[in-house]
Amino acid sequence: MILGIDLGTTNSAVGIVDSGFPILLADEEGQRITPSAVWIGENGEIEVGRKALRRRSLEPERVVTSIKRLMGRRTAELGENFPVAVTSSNEGLPLVLGKSPEEISAEILRELRRIAEWRMGVEITKAVITVPAYFHDAQRAATKRAGELAGLEVIRILNEPTAAALAYGMDRLGEKSRIAVYDLGGGTFDLSILELQDGVFQVLATHGDTQLGGDDLDGLLLTKILTSAGITGLSLAARARLMAEAERVKMALSEQERAVFRVPFYEGSRSIEQEISRADLEELAAPWIAKTQRLCRLALADAQLSVEQLSAVVVVGGSTRMPAVRRGVAELFKREPDFSQHPDEAISLGATIQGGVLSGALRQIILLDVTPLSLGIETFGGLMNVLIPRNTTIPCKAGELFTNAADGQAAMRVRVLQGEREMAKDNWELGTFDVPFAPSAKGQARVGVQFKIDENGILEALARDIATGTDTVIQIHHAAVNVDDAAVEAMVSESVKHAFTDMAERVFTEAKLKAEELLPAVDAVLAQGLALDAERGEIEAAAADVRAALAAGAANPLKAAVQRLDLATEALAARLVELAMDAALERQLAGN
């Protein structure tokens, strides 16, 4: 089992593929999102997530948030201010409360691992962890190290926009699709443009702001409230409480038009109560949204793409729950973005899917893109010869070599069939074509038949005359993949219902073909007196058995009789081959 982990700046989440399904795992409180917060007590005790945030109003200086910002960076390059005090190690690396960013991130990962193991009831030691597309090597390496400190083998570091695209199923778009992923979280904004080619995502361009996210809006909202209430000089602890309330009000305004900001006794006897409307919030958010739009334009320019050239726009990050943000995205990309996924769960879901694919637990993920029924061609005797079995994932390709059944035959009819029945006549015909070849002795002409289904479900049946390399091709649109559910069900249940008789019919046909080939050869050999006296009796008896079984039309007796005849003529056949080889050798020697 491989965990899929979104180790976010503000929030983290973990998932796993369980019984073929990717699921996110909820903690004891039923929450699938764990705040990326770590409380480090004076004696080194640790609390993670909501438990850590609850300590904020008591010990704000001991609660570390946004640690992701420090990952893989040197103290000297940290321009911005950080929520808690940062010191520097002798090597010039940042330390928070005496711990490295990797160690603190490891605490979050350890908690996610604990939740997963508790939910699944087994030890889990492998993970896929996501990082922003712009993370450089040192930041990726630091993330990997954090995983290792938490006892996890990091199987893959996955780009967040790629994870989002996986969650939305964008990996199944047609060839060469381009996708924009707009990710507005708590502390950062990213816009990535991905190109999907041959099943692999490549980042074409990425732009963003590591200091732009929902937290800023909470700050702007709080400043507005404090200004209008004439409040100044807050303690760190009081500020933490007011910020939490600002965030709650902001989130409420995504659902409703008005909300009340209310914090009783935030400092001594002081309380605040103020009503805020969605319009107030949107006024504050407008410049902030415009900034994300500018960054999107930069990324598009970098990738040299216009919005019309994008196949899809995927929206992730908790802040995209805000209606104004959604409008901003729609306006810029001139389309309604896809909101089918939970914005704050899509990345961990994508990581989980990637983990499932890597562990082999998720082979069924593309079940939608499968052949609903088997595809094949009719072969001699009216049998169905399956080339692509049902439930094969597409795109796919399969082929087989066939030969002519009769002397002097100059063409082969290829009937493209769909269905689960053993006999061609019981399946559906999708198309027919003839493959011409030079008149040939039985078994001499060789025709290769290949079926290819592309990602759009178009079946191409190709037949090649091996001798000349001439191809005959037909295309069958959609019929191969777009079959009505009820029809598929009917076909499958028919095949189950008739399984026994169908099988008997197939066995009989196959044995009959074999008998029709064997009997004339045996008769000829016997007529020429090539059989030894010792064999002759058994061969004649076996041949009579085959004729009787053929006349009776019974599958299993015919199969047994053919086997008996085969066995009786085995030694004779070997001698005939030897004789033929000797004769050929002699002819060759005589020729030289």
Q: Tell me how far apart the terminal alpha carbons of the chain are, to the nearest angstrom.
A: 69
Whole-number Å distance between alpha carbons of 273 and 277: 13
Taking CB under 6 A as the rule, which mask of x and - marks residues 154-193 in contact with ligand ADP? -------------------------------xxxx-----
Beta carbons of 219 and 285 less than 8 angstroms apart: no
Cα-based distances in Å from 341 to 179, 315, 317, 321 = 16, 9, 11, 11
Catalytic residue among 27, 47, 68, 420: 68
* Residue 343 sits in the site that holds Mg ion (CB under 5 A): no
Minimum gap (Å) between residue 122 Cβ and ligand ADP:
27
Taking CB under 5 A as the rule, which mask of x and - marks residues 181-220 in contact with Mg ion? ----x-----------------------------------
Piece in contact with ligand ADP (CB under 6 A), picked from 101-109, 164-172, 212-220, 550-558: 212-220
* Residue 341 sits in the site that holds ligand ADP (CB under 6 A): no
| Binds ligand ADP (CB under 6 A): choice among 145, 239, 321, 452 | 321
The neighbouring-strand residues paired with 196 are 177, 201
Radius of gyration of the chain (CA): 36
Name which of 83 and 372 has its Cβ closer to ligand ADP: 83
CB atoms within 10 A of CB 575: 14
Alpha carbon of residue 113 to chain centroid: 23
Whole-number Å distance between alpha carbons of 353 and 20: 10
Sequence length of the chain is 592
160 flagged as catalytic: yes
Whole-number Å distance between alpha carbons of 4 and 6: 7
Name which of 10 and 418 has its Cβ closer to Mg ion: 10
Name which of 292 and 509 has its Cβ closer to Mg ion: 292
Strands 126-131 and 3-7: parallel
Q: To which residue do tokens 């196949």 refer?
A: 311
Taking CB under 6 A as the rule, which mask of x and - marks residues 75-114 in contact with ligand ADP? ----------------------------------------
* Residue 328 sits in the site that holds Mg ion (CB under 5 A): no
* Residue 72 sits in the site that holds ligand ADP (CB under 6 A): no
Alpha carbon of residue 134 to chain centroid: 23
Peptide bond into 83 cis (omega under 30): no
| Binds ligand ADP (CB under 6 A): choice among 2, 4, 8, 505 | 8
- Quick one: CA torsion of 295, 298, 302, 308, rounded to 10 degrees? 90
Piece in contact with ligand ADP (CB under 6 A), picked from 208-216, 277-285, 524-532, 561-569: 208-216
Piece in contact with Mg ion (CB under 5 A), picked from 5-13, 121-129, 380-388, 430-438: 5-13
183 flagged as catalytic: yes
Catalytic residue among 183, 215, 218, 378: 183
SS3 251: helix
Residues marked as catalytic:
6, 68, 160, 183
Binding positions for ligand ADP, rule: CB under 6 A: 8-11, 185-188, 213-215, 247, 250-251, 254, 317-319, 321-322, 344
Binding positions for Mg ion, rule: CB under 5 A: 8, 185
